[in-house]
Structure 1
Amino acid sequence: MSGVTNLKPKAIIFDMDGVLVDSEPLWQKAEFEIFSSLGVHVTEELAMTTKTMTTREVTEFWRNRYEWKNISVQQAEDRVISRVIELIENENCEIDGIGNFVKLIKDQGYRIGLATNSPYKIIPVVLKKLKLTHYFDAVSSSDSEPNGKPDPSVYLTTSCKLEVDPEHCIAIEDSFNGMLAAKRAGMKVAAFTNGNIAADLSIANYVINKFEDIDQWTACVIN
């Protein structure tokens, strides 16, 4: 594929929402419940606008349109996060095949990272849910960065923690903004479609349709 070099990858960095867990419906549910309780009229059209934002950005988005009282932006954000954590713990949200996929690449000697726009406190909840905590060598959240994806900061931070140069990393992403962040960080990108034929793959180096298809993917990309 164009833009692919012969540098052997040394690390795989996963996005979290939509890659490890199918959490988008859970975020939508939590945001609708919390913001509606504060008097916000959450429309489907505006909710699509907030889809790629960080939790803080989403909260500020709605606060700027509906000035609720007696609760700060931070408190509202915390309520959303707490509700998402509750839903993740209780819902069947694991992406099919992700457990075996992570274990396989770990067994092959690759360092494994996680770079997400979601708040840091959700990361251990997800990894515990999937029983994958000890497979990850480094995790990072955009809530510790000046900007979220598509800014490359969270990917650069994660590669630094892994002690692997970005050019030796492959990021696995399901969103165009996430892919763009990884590209801007100097990484190759594997687009995870999960069967979504409408996904924008224009800047991806590789494509993963399902994590069950690990043999073909690892033969092409990792080995």
Structure 2
Amino acid sequence: MLENIKAVIFDLDGTLVDSMWMWKSIDVEYLGRKGIAVPEDIQAFQEELEGMGFTETAVFFKNRFQIEDSLEEIKKTWIFMAEEKYCNEVPLKAGVREFLEELRNRNIRIGISSSNSRELIQVVLKAHGIAEYFDCITTCCEVPNSKPAPDVYLKTAEGLQVEPKDCLVFEDVPMGIMAGKNAGMQVCAVEDAYSKRQEAEKRRLADYYIEDYYEVLNL
């Protein structure tokens, strides 16, 4: 899988860290605080948000639920709600630390292309002591179009100074997988409990599929 690969780019939530459950919990709690009824099919609602950048998601919430708070207030609240969970309740995916070390040993560049906020990405990396591994971080808020558009992956590849064709992407949901493929990169889908019902679609879209990162190390 790593043959002829010069850079590996990761999504964050559900890919590097087991955190998708957390965002579902935050959405439910946030809407509850506002006295807003949670969508009946919360899983389908979460899937509707896939690929949206952090600001784009705030716009969606503000319009969908007629929230009076400003976009900055909404985002600030979400960041406050997420920080403690990221630091104390969200684990790395199995084998992540060992895989990052292997990539470093092979002199493969490492990046992140995430829909999350830069502030929270930095919180996660610091909490797990892995910030030093990453050469470039890009968020969907920093590019014209969110996933499944290729923009965020192309910008990360540019920052890593690597051609898209020489990049391998790790993603956990179909929108992210399509973003990597649309960027002309190889994509490995990562198993995640949150997207279990999308597994067949993930396998169809991606070049590879893994249950954890130890699988890559053992190839």
So what's the TM-score if we normalise by structure 2? 0.88
Q: Is contact 1:149-1:177 (8 Å) kept?
A: yes
| 1:7–1:168 Cα contact (<8 Å) kept | no
Task: Tell me how far 1:55 sits from its aligned partner.
Answer: 2.8
Find the counterpart in structure 1 of residue 216 from structure 2. 214
Question: Aligned Cα RMSD in Å?
Answer: 2.2
Indicate the structure (1 or 2) with the bigger Cα radius of gyration.
Answer: 1
Query: Unmatched 5+ residue regions in structure 1?
Result: 218-223
Give every structure 1 segment of 4 or more consecutive aligned residues whose post-TM-superposition deviation is greater than 6 Å: none
Instruction: Show the counterpart of 1:164.
Output: 162
CA 1:28–1:197 in structure 2 vs 1: closer, same or farther (change >3 Å)? Answer: closer
The equivalent residue for 2:206 is: 204
**Which residue of 2 is the match for residue 145 of structure 1?**
143
Equivalent residues, number: 212
Question: How does 1:70-85 map onto structure 2 within 5 Å?
Answer: 71-85=69-83
> What's 2:130 paired with?
132
Alignment correspondent of 1:154? 152
Cα distance in structure 2, aligned partners of 1:209 and 1:65:
35
* 1:37 counterpart residue number: 33
* Gap runs ≥5 in structure 2: none
Where in structure 2 are the equivalents of 1:46-195 lying within 5 Å? Answer: 46-69=45-68, 71-194=69-192
SS of residue matched to 2:111: strand
How far is the alpha carbon of 1:57 from its aligned partner? 2.9
**Farther-moved stretch of structure 1 (6-15 vs 140-149):** 6-15
Kindly indicate whether the alpha-carbon contact (under 8 Å) linking 2:13 and 2:20 is maintained by their aligned counterparts in 1: yes
Q: Is the 8 A contact 2:169 2:188 kept in 1?
A: yes
Counting aligned pairs with the same residue, the percent is 30
Q: Given the superposition, is the C-alpha separation of residues 14 and 47 from structure 1 closer, same or farther in structure 2, using an over 3 Å criterion?
A: closer
Whole-angstrom distance in 1 between the partners of 2:46 and 2:179: 22
Partners in 2 of 1:103 and 1:7 — Cα distance?
A: 17
1:202 match: secondary structure? helix
Q: How far apart, in 1, do the equivalents of 2:218 and 2:11 lie?
A: 21
What amino acid sits opposite 2:45 in the alignment?
Answer: L
Query: Is the 2:150–2:183 contact (alpha carbons within 8 Å) kept by the matching residues of 1?
Result: yes
Q: 1:167 to 1:48 in 2, by over 3 A?
A: closer
AA partner of residue 63 (structure 1) = K
Give the Cα–Cα distance (whole angstroms) in 1 for the partners of residues 135 and 210 of structure 2.
22
Match in the other structure for 1:220: none
Alpha-carbon contact 1:39-1:68 (below 8 Å) kept: no
Say whether the 8 Å CA contact 2:157–2:164 is kept in structure 1: yes
Q: 2:82 is matched by which residue type in structure 1?
A: V
CA distance in 2, matches of 1:190, 1:13: 10
Post-superposition CA distance 1:155-212 (Å, at most 9, x none): 0110001000000000011111111101111111111124748512112112222112
Report the AA paired with residue 49 of structure 1.
E
